[in-house]
């Protein structure tokens, strides 16, 4: 009798678990909002509008596309680089759109969507330092956002460097400008922006070659197969319709301060 009760309880558990998995999209629709975790400090991906102070940017537009596809409102939750995965695992957000680069270690913890952006990780130094390449920073101190793939890239590409981590990119950049570190590692686009901002006061050089090539995905919980499939469907449709290129050009294209040309397409990440 006891064995039968245990079997029934086990069966009920798996039924409830499967039901919870299948109902993720239904849950989002029921509450009427998609909670998207984003950084809020990473221009042009997610940052405050100078006039309205509302968070806007490339990643925010992707969050909005997912919310619109579900017929719900978008709710942005600002998170730090280090808190991205914990916030998702603790069910405080539904999805991550926060400069989240793919790594095998992260893929063990969460599910990644198809790559919606490809980023070069690079390192910069003060112009006055005279450094010409990342190798010149061997034995030196290099700052990076805590928990970022930039931090990982420094450890792998400049093994002799001492990596010092900070809460966000602006803090890591300031550490270099204040002389606390000799180099600063982050995505190429952020470095371009920091280079422009500091050109007249304390110029920096972006060192070549790049440390690594990074594929960004939207982060989701692994036990949400229907939601994962839906998100990838939205991304694929954005690519086919030209919407993905429009979003890129809006924030990063020829008529922006970055002047970049999109040289990639949305496609599955080959981990």
For residue 206, what pLDDT is reported? Answer: 96
Residue corresponding to tokens 């730090």: 80
For residue 268, what pLDDT is reported? Answer: 97
Cα 208 from Cα 70, distance rounded (Å): 43
Render the chain in DSSP notation, one character per residue. -HHHHHHHHHHHHHHHHHHHHHTHHHHHHHHTEEEEEE-SSBTTTBEE-TTT--EESHHHHHHHHHHHHHT-EEEEEE--TTTHHHHHHTTS-SEE-SS-B--HHHHHHSEE-SB-EEEEEEEEEEGGG---SGGGGTTSEEEEETT-HHHHHHHHH-TTSEEEEESSHHHHHHHHHTTS-SEEEEEHHHHHHHHHHHTTTS-EEEEEEEEEEEEE--EE-TT-HHHHHHHHHHHHHHHHHTHHHHHHHHHHSTTSSS--------B----
Residue corresponding to tokens 């950049």: 173
Please provide residue 77's backbone torsions phi and psi, each rounded to the nearest 5 degrees: -120, 120
For residue 119, what pLDDT is reported? Answer: 86
For residue 13, what pLDDT is reported? Answer: 43
For residue 16, what pLDDT is reported? Answer: 44
- Tens-binned pLDDT, residue by residue, of the chain (271 aa): 544 444 444 444 444 444 444 588 999 999 999 999 999 998 899 999 999 999 999 999 999 999 999 999 999 999 999 999 999 999 999 999 999 999 999 999 999 999 999 988 999 999 999 999 999 999 999 999 998 889 999 999 999 999 999 999 999 999 999 999 999 999 888 898 899 999 999 999 999 999 998 899 999 999 999 999 999 999 999 999 999 999 999 999 999 988 888 989 999 998 6
For residue 201, what pLDDT is reported? Answer: 94
């Amino acid at each position: 009798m006891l064995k039968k009760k245990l079997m029934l309880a086990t069966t009920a558990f798996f039924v409830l678990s499967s039901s919870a998995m299948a109902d993720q999209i239904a849950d989002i629709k029921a509450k009427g909002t998609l909670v998207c975790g984003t950084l809020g400090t990473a221009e042009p991906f997610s940052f405050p509008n100078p006039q309205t102070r509302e968070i806007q940017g490339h990643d925010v537009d992707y969050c909005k596309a997912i919310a619109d596809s579900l017929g719900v409102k978008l709710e942005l939750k600002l998170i730090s680089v280090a808190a991205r995965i914990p916030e998702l695992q603790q069910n405080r957000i539904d999805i991550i759109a926060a400069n989240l680069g793919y790594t095998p270690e992260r893929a063990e913890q969460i599910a990644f969507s198809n790559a919606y952006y490809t980023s070069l990780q690079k390192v910069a130094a003060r112009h006055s330092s005279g450094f010409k390449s990342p190798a010149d920073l061997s034995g030196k101190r290099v700052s990076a956002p805590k928990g970022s793939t930039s931090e990982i890239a420094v450890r792998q590409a400049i093994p002799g460097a001492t990596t010092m981590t900070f809460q966000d990119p602006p803090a890591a950049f300031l550490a270099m400008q204040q002389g606390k570190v000799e180099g600063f590692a982050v995505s190429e686009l952020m470095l371009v922006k920091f280079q422009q901002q500091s050109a007249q006061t304390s110029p920096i050089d972006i060192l070549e070659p790049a440390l690594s090539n990074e594929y960004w995905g939207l982060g989701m919980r692994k036990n949400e197969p229907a939601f994962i499939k839906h998100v990838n469907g939205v991304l694929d449709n954005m690519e086919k319709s030209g919407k993905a290129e429009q979003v890129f050009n809006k924030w990063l294209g020829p008529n922006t301060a970055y002047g970049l040309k999109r040289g990639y397409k949305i496609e599955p990440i080959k981990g």
